[in-house]
Amino acid sequence: MNLANRVIVLFVLYALISPLSVIAQSISDAHIEDNVPDEKVFKKFLARDIQKYFSTKWNKTIQIEYELLRDAPTQSGVAYPKYYLWVKILDGSTIIEEAAVRIAAINKVRFEIIEHVSKGEIIRDPKKIETIFPAVLCDDIRSRAGAKP
């Protein structure tokens, strides 16, 4: 195949694929909009659902502090949008657990913790997080846990 034919084939492929990526992005944006709570209730719902999850896990009333590791959600296909957090669980003023958390925004009304990895687990197995969290967040998570890369 000569150079002119290659250019034509590449142009045709680009013309076919480009609109598909726009459609995929539109679907992704719509899925985020359909599931992420409105800004005015986002923090309230997030804190409520993290608190409920860890209160159930510890079988007692706890307090939580959290920090989003990324401001925007990660959207993959038609799955619920995901957020990544570092969470501190407190009993009074005592930290009883710290963990990296992956959480899904669902139907604009709630969050569901998909997975959490405790600070202790991260220290014991620093690579464990690599299959759960985006690669760009792993060094930050290991650093927060005090684990070696």
Checking if the pLDDT of 19 tops 70, the result is no
Residue 8 lies in a domain: no
Q: What is the pLDDT of residue 32?
A: 84
Domain residues for the domain of 97 are 36-145
Checking if the pLDDT of 8 tops 70, the result is no
Checking if the pLDDT of 118 tops 60, the result is yes
Percentage with pLDDT > 90 across the chain: 72
Query: Which pTM value belongs to this model?
Result: 0.79
User: Chain-centre distance of CA 66, in angstroms?
Assistant: 13
Neighbours of 16 (CB within 10 A): 9
Residue 16 lies in a domain: no
Expressed in angstroms, the distance from the first to the final Cα of the chain is 48
pLDDT band at 119 (very low <50, low <70, confident <90, very high): very high
Please report the sign of the dihedral spanned by the C-alpha atoms of residue 91, residue 94, residue 97, residue 98: positive
User: Who wins on pLDDT, 26 or 130?
Assistant: 130
d(CA 47, CA 45): 6
Number of domains observed in the structure of the chain = 1
pLDDT band at 111 (very low <50, low <70, confident <90, very high): very high
